[in-house]
Structure 1
Amino acid sequence: MVTGRNEALGRRIRLGMVGGGKDAFIGGVHRIAARMDDRFELVAGALSSTPEKSRESGEALGLARIYDDFRQMAQREARRKDGIEAVSIVTPNHVHYAAAREFLKRGIHVICDKPLTSTLADAKKLVKAAEESDALFILTHNYTGYPMVRHAREMVASGQLGPIRVVQVEYPQDWLSVEQDFKQANWRTDPAQSGVGGSTGDIGTHAFNLACFVTGLRVDSLAADIQAFVPGRQVDDNAHVLLRFDGGARGMLWSSQVAPGNENALRLRVYGEKGGLEWAQEDPNYLWYTPFGEPKRLITRNGAGAGEAAGRVSRVPAGHPEGYLEGFANIYTEAAEAIIAARSGKPVPEAVVYPTVQDGLLGVQFVSACVKSSARNAAWVKLDH
């Protein structure tokens, strides 16, 4: 590793959390990610939609300060000399805008789960709030933290693949193949909480972000055919999307939560004039590279041929697996690097990379365009840039 992740870089960043209480899967993931490189200390939280549940969850975590709601938390923490410097927002999508705004306007850095918001109008307002704030905004598209994703991005940027021609990305799951009745399923299939996108918002935004992150390309327009296969479901559970990128590249995106046999099968293929790349999230330490006319080559995390971009976000030697939690932690550690720079009035180091509020806006624009296109019989729709 060349990152110095375990070096003493000043005191831990005081962190708060909104959402992520009892029975919330993603809250636990964020807490692990924040702890992994010892850069944050969780000290406060408004962890649930009711004061009672928030207190119960906070006490179980041993939090020093537990609040009834995020507004109370933002107001009181901003007045404390030892108040939080950053907040993790891990609520259902419809709460993201209101919660993030409260902390941003008080100069508290925001680390927010994706998608950015549940509506395009809120996404645009949140971009404005972030631009008007002195605080940083980090969006946890965690797959951008995987070392071999960083290496793939470095290869594309260096021109090894030549001009990009074709991009294929997919993210199939199977857990919503039938109607489910538990917290994680209920809010994701409720448009009042998730927004207009189902699979497109929940996992399609991950696929969309990954394709853009690795290639550096921007989607100009798309044609989407989305479905809700489960009877009575109010949001999509499957989507096929054609993509047109600025510069002429073409792409296909598939997101599905009704594909039996798939767990978290995020996969990316990028093809240029000189060669192609393939990466699969469920086998994340491997990147396949094929120069045109030559045998396929396997590049491994921290192995021969892996570059500096991958090395700085790797923790252990080649052959020891790193995956979802480490990739997630890399986003938190990049956030820590940026926050520490801001703390001392310095620019964010050039090597530090994380998804921004602008990336979040693009994701919500993607969902909105998919819904609009599908309603028009898969007509081509420009993204609302």
Structure 2
Amino acid sequence: MTRALRLGMVGGGEGAFIGAVHRMAAALDGDWRLAAGAFSTDAGRNGRTGAALGLASERVYASLEAMLAGERALPADARIDAVAIVTPNYLHAPMAIAALEAGFHVFCEKPMAMNVAEAQAIAAAAKASGRRFALAFTYSGYPLVEEARARVARGDLGAIRLVQVEYLQGWLSQPIDESGNKQAEWRTDPARAGMGGCLGDIGTHAFQLAEHVSGLAVESVSAELTTHVPGRRLDDDVSALLRFASGARGTLKASQVAAGEENGLKLRIHGERGGLEWAQMEPNTLVLRWLDRPAEIVRAGGPGLDPRTAPLLRTPSGHPEGYIEAFANLYRGFAEAIRGGDGRWYPDVVDGLRTMQFIEAVIANAASDQKWTMIGESA
């Protein structure tokens, strides 16, 4: 019987949203068991979180450093296998590198780091340690995202010409970062979030999804960054034209001040024979449109799915699967890779480096009079 891998978490204490999501996703398929954590720098919050999660007090550590040292001192059949990093962005690189160098695999929140140089340092640490590194690009774990990717890859749409991706939220339409909202506060602070606000937080999701599903690499960008809320220190709205190395063209729109929007991530891809459309808020539906026949609606669990999609499904047709299940698909792929498998995809250092290069290219282009900036040029 294959044992559950043991997970240690840094960050994600009581009141945090994404830590709980990671824990639910990791546990869903039985591949992972939370075994240790350093959940908060506040001792009381840290202890309460560990107790609520049923951890022994000696496996609830005051810091990542303490957790790495404490776990390394345990026998191999008791210590954690991997560290989940669910902290603000400025901690991703130092924590990931420390965990990798200590001999642990890492599953990290996105964006990968504060800049390309940090991302490259993480990649180097992963390579030197021989450990796996995964990133929480959750939306690429949806079954019908995999279906869309499979159909593009097998040539159903013909040569790809157009890629359009948008990610619209409205939660930062008011200056809640100045009135005590902790999630908004750190995401709009350059010292903790990095160079990009909306760009780093959700623009990276849109970019990764566009490249992942199309199978194409963006070569250059022409972009505009806007801060609509007065006094905000980072962008809250992003617009970019995309040039793909293949000759395809694309657009990317990301905004956190689209008042009334919830989590409107949408992807459209058009080739010479047809197109597809997928939306995160209706994730179990993929729409296909053709030049020479009626449009098709493909449903999760329904007939006609590519064989690569089936392993990502857990329920029969008509029983919705959503965000937690998509996240769990990434944790499952990560677990399989650690165990020596090589069949299931998950976002890794390649995705992380690409998205960091995208951030730097957009910022460089938006700050200049140059029409186009090559991705990777500013690194």
1:72 aligned partner:
66
Q: Give runs of aligned pairs for residues 48-63 of structure 1, distance below 5 A.
A: 48-63=40-55
Q: CA deviation at 1:248?
A: 0.5
Spell out, residue by residue over 1:306-348, the C-alpha distance to the aligned partner (whole angstroms, 9 max, x if none).
111211100000111001111011111111111222xxxxxx3
Q: CA deviation at 1:54?
A: 2.1
Q: Which of 172, 183, 191 in structure 2 is aligned with 1:176?
A: 172
Spell out, residue by residue over 1:203-253, the C-alpha distance to the aligned partner (whole angstroms, 9 max, x if none).
010000000110111111101101010011111100000001111111000
1:349 aligned partner:
342
Q: Give runs of aligned pairs for residues 158-177 of structure 1, distance below 5 A.
A: 158-177=154-173
1:379 aligned partner:
371
CA distance in 1, matches of 2:342, 2:366: 42
Q: Which of 112, 116, 121 in structure 2 is aligned with 1:116?
A: 112
Q: CA deviation at 1:59?
A: 2.2
Q: Which amino acid is the alignment partner of residue 238 of structure 2?
A: A
Q: Which amino acid is the alignment partner of residue 186 of structure 2?
A: W
RMSD of aligned C-alpha atoms? 1.2
2:323 aligned partner:
324
Extract unaligned runs of 5+ from structure 1.
Answer: 1-7, 342-347
Q: Percent identity?
A: 48
Q: Which amino acid is the alignment partner of residue 85 of structure 1?
A: D
Q: 1:252–1:378: structure 2 CA closer, same or farther, 3 Å change rule?
A: farther
Q: Which of 7, 13, 17 in structure 2 is aligned with 1:25?
A: 17
1:312 aligned partner:
311
Q: Which amino acid is the alignment partner of residue 299 of structure 1?
A: V
Extract unaligned runs of 5+ from structure 2.
Answer: none
Q: Which stretch shows the higher mean deviation, 324-333 or 303-312?
A: 303-312
Q: Which of 149, 153, 156 in structure 2 is aligned with 1:153?
A: 149
Q: Which amino acid is the alignment partner of residue 71 of structure 1?
A: E
CA distance in 2, matches of 1:377, 1:171: 26
Q: CA deviation at 1:16?
A: 0.3
CA distance in 1, matches of 2:137, 2:90: 17
CA distance in 1, matches of 2:242, 2:21: 31
Contact 1:285 1:300 in 2 (8 A): yes
Question: Are residues 1:96 and 2:92 paired?
Answer: yes
CA distance in 1, matches of 2:101, 2:41: 22
Q: Give runs of aligned pairs for residues 1-385 of structure 1, distance below 5 A.
A: 8=1, 10-64=2-56, 65-81=59-75, 82-180=78-176, 181-341=180-340, 348-350=341-343, 352-377=344-369, 379-384=371-376
Q: CA deviation at 1:55?
A: 2.3
TM norm structure 2:
0.95
Local SS of the residue matching 1:308: coil
Contact 1:51 1:69 in 2 (8 A): no
Contact 1:224 1:378 in 2 (8 A): no
CA distance in 2, matches of 1:278, 1:50: 45
Instruction: Give aligned pairs, total.
Output: 370
